[in-house]
Amino acid sequence: MSPFWTNHIRQVLASLEITLSHVLFTLWHSDHTGGVPDLIAHRPECTAWINKCDPYHNQKAIVDRDIFRVKGATVRAVFTPGHAHDHICFELEEENALFTGDNILSHGQSVFEDLGLFTKSLWDMANPNCQLGYPAHGDMLRDLPQKMFKVIK
């Protein structure tokens, strides 16, 4: 992450009076994790959570269905391999929304390592309560179930 983005993130967090305490990874690809060392350097007490068998120092493993709570938000982990072996989504209960990572994108379709696991994960993600989707790449999805069933077909 460039110094510009590091400073921008610091300014946004400060302006919103947000204290960063955790970073949740959807998967261990550089486009998702590249700026984390800078965030951790800014907030050394921050803990990074990742769905990995062998997390690095100051990282903690995420287990399927783990729940993370902060003021105003409850996030539940949903293990969703297929795009990558360590892929995980996060359900934001207060918004009936799902952070879809790279499994569901706003434009086009994700690539996958294992079609069978990917398809199973799409069905596991299909929570009828989740109408909104926040993909790792692209715009918010206002009708997540429709997009998911389109990808499954």
Average pLDDT, the chain: 80
Q: Give per-residue pLDDT as tens, 13-26.
A: 899 998 877 778 77
Known catalytic residue at 31: yes
pTM for this predicted structure: 0.80
Q: Which of 72, 73, 47 is nearest to 60 (CA)?
A: 47
Element (DSSP H or E) covering residue 10: helix 3-15
How do residues 38-53 score in pLDDT, each as one tens digit?
Answer: 777 777 777 665 555 4
Topology adopted by domain 3-9+19-152: Metallo-beta-lactamase; Chain A (3.60.15)
Average pLDDT over residues 102-111: 80
Nearest in space to 38 (alpha carbons), one of 66, 13, 68, 16: 13
Query: 1 CB contacts (<8 Å, ≥6 apart)?
Result: 34, 35, 38, 39
pLDDT band of 97, cuts 50, 70, 90: very high
The whole-number average pLDDT for the span 90-97 is 94
Q: Which of 31, 64, 139, 143 is catalytic?
A: 31
Write out the E strands in 4-147: 22-24, 47-50, 59-61, 67-70, 73-79, 88-92, 97-101, 132-135
DSSP sequence for 32-53? HHTTHHHHHHHSTT-EEEE--S
